[in-house]
Amino acid sequence: MSVAWVVDSNCFIHLGQKAEDGFVQDLTVALNGGRLLITPGVEREVATVAFRRCNGRPRVLTALQPLLHSVPVDEADVRALAQKIGEAAAPQDVDLSLMVLADGLGADHAEVVLVSDDFKMTTTAERAHLRFTTCPPSTFVERLVEGTNDKPREARFRSLSRQVRAAEMSYAISRRDEYDVQKKLTWMVDSLLSSSHALSTDDDGPDDGQEERRKIADLTRLIRGYTIKPKRVEALGELPSICTPVSRLDAHLETLRTQADEHLPAAVESTSLLLMEVMEEVGMGLAPLDEEQAEIAHRAMAGSFLRTESALGLMARMAGHHQHARRHLARALHLATLVDDVGSERKAMRRLGMLALQAGNLERAARLFATAAHQPTAQPMESVPSQVLASITAALNGEQSMATEWVEKAAPTLMDAPGPGCDALEKVGRDLMAIERPDLAIELFDEAMECAVLAADETRLERLAERMVTAQRALDAGEHDDLPLLRLVLDRLTPVDETVRKAHHLAEAEQHLDE
């Protein structure tokens, strides 16, 4: 049986902003005679939303009218659901009407998916044991790829999915001061990882690969504390109970920063001991199982083991044990590839590159940073730290043309968003200070200040002026030489007038030195 898609207003808003000419035709083919289900409330909310990138800017509801089916929902059912959830915790009425519709369909439909990036609807549905699953709009678009043999259409859907996902994540991160967005981002990533199984057009059901990916996603969610349907828990057999000890690692990591600040050796010892205990306990549970089940478990647990190895690597670096740090971070990189987590792969390679730079192995550092910079990203800014570090190591290796190429890739992204660019460069500078390279950190803080000037952000300027002074003082006591060639390369990151830049930075630094 095909998937029943219940779609909320936010999805249509995202599509209106990102979809281009030809999308309606592509969607018509992908749905293969099916229709998207909405409620009258959604119609009212998106009545004026238009396809902004399409010729003539047609209204979304008008263009999609043949593909939509509006289903009225009884107000009494909406109020009953609100009461069941608790009025204070309940979503808005339009969202509740969609949840009532999806839950009703779930009673006699094999697969009902509510498409929304409102994470509250997901958590509420799980808590109330409603009969549907959820996914964000970006994952919905990704799932439309399934079953198509049309490569150009597949490429268009994947491109649209990436654009919508970037918008979803950008919005979620912008609200980080209002609520904890980590769980929402995890849910969005998990839904994407499990997207390949969600739309099955074969009458014989999903193939073995799709079923395996579904089990991995379900087991991962259970380890992280989410609730999934009982029938999907049952399909996992003994794996949930075997993998339960892994959740202790994530609980430990939540308190690890405080422990490390208070007593680093004790934090390392407790983390290493817990990791060993969990691996031993899980290993004994997996030993009697076959290879297929063990692989599902290993891939589902890899995220928790990755975070633990990364933490051990960073603590080893803090303690000055560079070989131990490299060993842990190399394991973290391996685990990141196991779960196909591009962000974690990129981060692990950057950390290994920092260790190589600290050890003076410029060739290995350059290779790690360059590989990290080539990883795909949801947003261009995510590549900037790797690109800048690749440029620095290329310049230190005497490869000026390569260093310039990396800078030219990073500069447009920094100019498009100087505020976030300032933060990205400051983070790289802090990492360089951590490996005792204040000479390099100064150059990054200098470029970050230029971004702050472009963003007209006095708070960032004051903070960076303090970091510049700290780095300058560390440099006075260090043995590193000034790097004029590197400065010439990095100056191209932020093309601010040289006279204005130097006068402003000098005044800021002198003021803080006087203080």
The more confidently predicted of residues 167 and 410 is 410
One domain, residues 173 and 210: no
Contact between 312 and 272 under an 8 Å Cβ cutoff? The reply is: yes
Residue 198 in any domain: the answer is no
Q: What would the pLDDT profile of 120-169 be if each residue is shown by its tens digit?
A: 888 888 777 788 888 899 989 988 887 567 788 888 998 898 888 888 87
One domain, residues 110 and 69: yes
The more confidently predicted of residues 38 and 485 is 38
One domain, residues 216 and 108: no
pLDDT band at 39 (very low <50, low <70, confident <90, very high): very high
Strands of the sheet containing 68-70, edge to edge, are 68-70, 36-38, 4-7, 112-115, 133-135
Residue 336 in any domain: the answer is no
CATH code, domain carrying 108? 3.40.50.1010
Which phi and psi angles does 113 have, rounded to 5°? -125, 125
Q: What would the pLDDT profile of 193-208 be if each residue is shown by its tens digit?
A: 655 433 333 334 444 5
One domain, residues 375 and 513: yes
The more confidently predicted of residues 269 and 87 is 269
- For residue 264, the tally of other CB atoms under 10 A from its CB is 14
Domain total of the chain = 3
One domain, residues 309 and 456: no
pLDDT at 195: 56
Residue 427 in any domain: the answer is yes
pLDDT at 108: 62
Closest-CA residue to 305 (of 267, 266, 348, 351) = 348
pLDDT band at 336 (very low <50, low <70, confident <90, very high): confident
Residue 268 in any domain: the answer is yes
When mean pLDDT is compared across 6-20, 67-81, 118-132, the lowest value belongs to 118-132
pLDDT at 199: 36
One domain, residues 238 and 368: no
Contact between 335 and 305 under an 8 Å Cβ cutoff? The reply is: yes
Residue 326 in any domain: the answer is no
Residue 499 has pLDDT above 50, yes or no: no
Q: What would the pLDDT profile of 349-400 be if each residue is shown by its tens digit?
A: 888 899 889 888 999 899 999 988 887 776 788 889 999 999 999 999 889 8
Contact between 271 and 308 under an 8 Å Cβ cutoff? The reply is: yes
Q: Which of 314, 348, 378 is the last residue of a domain?
A: 314
The more confidently predicted of residues 211 and 453 is 453
Q: Which of 263, 284, 314 is the last residue of a domain?
A: 314
pLDDT at 150: 79
One domain, residues 456 and 480: yes
Residue 241 in any domain: the answer is yes
Q: Kindly state the DSSP code that residue 400 receives in the 8-state scheme.
A: H
CA distance 185 to 380: 18
CA distance 239 to 234: 10
CA 397, distance to chain mean position in Å, is 32
What is the average pLDDT value for the chain, to the nearest integer?
Answer: 82
Q: What would the pLDDT profile of 427-466 be if each residue is shown by its tens digit?
A: 999 999 988 888 899 989 989 998 988 888 888 888 998 8
When pLDDT is averaged across residues 11-18 and rounded to a whole number, the result is 93
Residue 329 in any domain: the answer is no
Q: What percentage of the chain carries pLDDT values higher than 70?
A: 83
One domain, residues 302 and 414: no
One domain, residues 27 and 174: yes
Largest separation between any pair of C-alpha atoms in the chain: 76
One domain, residues 171 and 141: yes
* pTM for this prediction: 0.50
What DSSP letter does each residue of 94-158 carry, written as one string? HHHHHHHHHHHHHTT-S-EEEE---HHHHHHHHHTT-S-EEE-HHHHHHHTTTT---HHHHHHHH
One domain, residues 188 and 252: no
pLDDT band at 117 (very low <50, low <70, confident <90, very high): confident
Residue 332 in any domain: the answer is no
Question: In which residue are the tokens 């828990």 written?
Answer: 233
One domain, residues 23 and 140: yes
- Tell me the residue length of the chain: 515
Q: Which of 314, 341, 370 is the last residue of a domain?
A: 314
Residues of the domain holding 398 = 357-515
pLDDT at 51: 93
Q: What is the CA radius of gyration of the chain?
A: 26
